Structure 1
């Protein structure tokens, strides 16, 4: 490598921070750490700060004549930008899943600390242990954190189950760490808590491209077996707390395992995935001020796409039908709508392909058609089901009613169903409940929700 190229790399060495404005009005902070590796070659890692995804390898780093290209293959993302004359700014674009978003990186001295008011501060008044256990049936190792009270055991315990999408053990989202806050609260109440990274995230192994909620239920079952192996844990008092999709998974596990003493469903689904997504899309669109004509058109498109997924099991045929539906819709978009959706002629094929692959994935096929009611009817352990009044993602009225009806029909003798005033899908105190508020709200979980969960569990774990 020439001295000139080595000097070029020195120009971009350091920590670079920028923000992506994502749909819904939220911002995701992206950080690149660029350095010189062996043989003078550039190397880099990426952090998505608000999603708590850190140290993501940047497989390809190319820099020449002021132009930088960073390729992050694991998430199919690429940044391309140009170093400005001040050597402190790189202006460019982030490309991922067919979308192209402007991204301006600024050089900073050190990585910013990400902390919310409710994040617990060490030293904790309890013990914290990094653990690894295995779902032997799936060949997956799960890495997590076990928190243990310092009082005399054996302790009751809960496993926290994350919502949809790749999640770490803290369920990090938009700068919040709900499961860190919940774990801290419960452990201070004398309850041991196990929380783990999802498959393929953080320290956990596994591929999520071909799995469904039922596979994730297997990971939770492995967590139960792990807790039963710990002498500090009372095996007769192990419960589950599932948030969002986790609230769909918890009943599946409770039916499969007689070791589940109770379950807590935080914004858990009571309807099929298709029903939830259609309700969710309508409510969020209205909260964001989308006009009725656009809402109706989107609703028709979604129903058409979901019909294809439900009726056509052959992926090749389904792909063709879905691609035609999406292309026809894009052809009818106004220029403003195309711009807002990230549409461009250069990225059209990648954008459509990304949408289609998501729609025909095993996870989506399962989620759209899975009806939680038959499983809920088989749940015999105590159940607490709570939703925020302003939850626009899993609307409370329809889902709580469906959950209660299923539990009642199944003869469950101990269930509590509550809608919590003023809270959104993350159980934050909210104005509208729109996801666009999540980042701006400083509160991670309402103290009222924490107290409700803690008190209910305490009532159900009294030693007999």
Structure 2
């Protein structure tokens, strides 16, 4: 992969979407009452050794098993899925949970392919455990794991079934844009900050290449899945669009000839199918009532040959639709944005710096108030928009500030600044035609070029 120039890399550090969890130290999970716990290790992608725990009821009778694949974050410890593992095991399944890799998984780099290889290593290990029927072992994936688990299943016939929880059949970038827009809407924000500012900011991160797996082809993967699939969503999911994803899953599976899927939805359940007391903002300790029973019963059925046939009831409603986020066209992509950024930094800074240098030398140019205003407002609009959008990324939608007619006050001030820049551009053009001396024409001409580019740039980012 070609590396972006240094400036793009620096931009990407600021453009990347919410940080994944820090690497956490995993460790053995003690056996809860009525269950056995067996510590295991296995080889994941690249020869990496991963460690986990198998929880199951006592006894040697062969039983179905499931490997749990967690959501985003480097080094997520197996304890994170302990509640699910215990509840599934108490209903008769053998469950393997493991510490997620941190090697090769960073803020800016992750590979669903590598994570799928890790999951298949766990499947091989669980299939070899005493008391587990190797023909009845499947994978379960939560959130990011909802992209990983189907990919693992598409690669191996050893996987008997697939379960996705809060899963997406859309690209990670499209899902993340919806997630961020939802946070802003819950804060009362409306208008161009959501529709253009944040939307295009996220797309630029994907273009630069440091929004990992931004355009992962989830539907292409699902079309290659031949195993029965259970999809489960909570109606209070604030991270994954619960209304749009089930039809996308069904369409992709049918395209590959697979009609053996079941979709279910749970009231007052969050992204991970835990009960939530406040509409999804807070996760409760307990799983949604009936969820663990559904998983255990569905696994028993499909591993006994009783396959579902396109069982997909109407999904719950979501507050607002997603927006398709394809890779940017050439005129809006990383190179166009880099060109605009360099032009603005050079042109808007050159005008006042040149004036300062002349003053230091004792030479005075012709005062041009419009040009000075254009340089100041253009620079403020460009830098201000960039850093404000960055603050929203780091604050995850909580740094909006006071609202004025559904727009954060900082965004309103940036929009006013952009309008002033346009007015100053017109004034500078009129002044150029009448009275700009020959010696001023180079720096004023460069300023006019930057101002002319600033207008469509500001429209694109929602400042105009």
What range describes the TM-score normalised by the shorter chain of this pair?
A: 0.5 to 0.7
2:289 corresponds to which of 427, 439, 447: 447
3-state secondary structure, aligned to 2:244: helix
Answer whether contact 1:260 1:381 (CA < 8 A) is retained.
Answer: yes
3-state secondary structure, aligned to 1:138: helix
- The separation in 1 between residues aligned to 2:149 and 2:33, in whole angstroms, is 28
Query: Hey, which of these two has a bigger chunk of helix by percent?
Result: 2
Please state if 1:126 is matched with 2:28.
Answer: no
Answer whether contact 1:224 1:238 (CA < 8 A) is retained.
Answer: yes
3-state secondary structure, aligned to 1:396: coil
3-state secondary structure, aligned to 2:46: coil
Give the CA deviation at 1:291. 2.4
- The separation in 2 between residues aligned to 1:459 and 1:299, in whole angstroms, is 45
- The separation in 1 between residues aligned to 2:26 and 2:101, in whole angstroms, is 17
3-state secondary structure, aligned to 2:138: strand
Segments of structure 2 that go 5 or more residues without pairing to the other structure are: 1-20, 307-464
Matches within 5 A, 1:2-401: 53=24, 123-135=32-44, 137-170=45-78, 172=80, 179-200=81-102, 206-209=103-106, 210-287=109-186, 289-293=187-191, 296-312=192-208, 360=210, 364-366=211-213, 368-401=214-247
- The separation in 2 between residues aligned to 1:416 and 1:194, in whole angstroms, is 23
Indicate how the Cα distance of structure 1 residues 125 and 463 shifts in structure 2: closer, same or farther if over 3 A, else same: farther
Query: Hey, which of these two has a bigger chunk of strand by percent?
Result: 1
Give the CA deviation at 1:448. 2.0
User: Residue deviations 1:26-55, cap 9 Å, x none?
Assistant: xxxxxxxxxxxxxxxxxxxxxxxx999469
Give the CA deviation at 1:434. 3.9
Indicate how the Cα distance of structure 1 residues 402 and 385 shifts in structure 2: closer, same or farther if over 3 A, else same: same
How does the TM-score come out when normalised to structure 1?
0.56
Segment of structure 1 superposing worse, 241-250 or 209-218: 209-218
- The separation in 2 between residues aligned to 1:126 and 1:181, in whole angstroms, is 13
- The separation in 1 between residues aligned to 2:241 and 2:278, in whole angstroms, is 13
- The separation in 2 between residues aligned to 1:413 and 1:51, in whole angstroms, is 39
Give the CA deviation at 1:297. 1.2
How does the TM-score come out when normalised to structure 2?
0.56
Segments of structure 1 that go 5 or more residues without pairing to the other structure are: 1-49, 57-119, 173-178, 201-205, 314-359
Indicate how the Cα distance of structure 1 residues 55 and 268 shifts in structure 2: closer, same or farther if over 3 A, else same: closer
Give the CA deviation at 1:153. 2.3
3-state secondary structure, aligned to 2:243: helix
- The separation in 1 between residues aligned to 2:62 and 2:293, in whole angstroms, is 23
- The separation in 2 between residues aligned to 1:146 and 1:450, in whole angstroms, is 17
User: Residue deviations 1:382-430, cap 9 Å, x none?
Assistant: 1000110110101100111211111122211310112222211121233
User: Residue deviations 1:123-174, cap 9 Å, x none?
Assistant: 5212101111112x512110111113213322211000000113534463xx
- The separation in 2 between residues aligned to 1:258 and 1:290, in whole angstroms, is 48
User: Which structure has the greater CA radius of gyration?
Assistant: 2
User: Residue deviations 1:186-211, cap 9 Å, x none?
Assistant: 212221111100113xxxxx342343
3-state secondary structure, aligned to 1:260: coil
Match of 1:402 in 2: 248
User: Residue deviations 1:323-380, cap 9 Å, x none?
Assistant: xxxxxxxxxxxxxxxxxxxxxxxxxxxxxxxxxxxxx1xxx331x2112111111111
- The separation in 2 between residues aligned to 1:125 and 1:213, in whole angstroms, is 35
Give the CA deviation at 1:310. 4.2
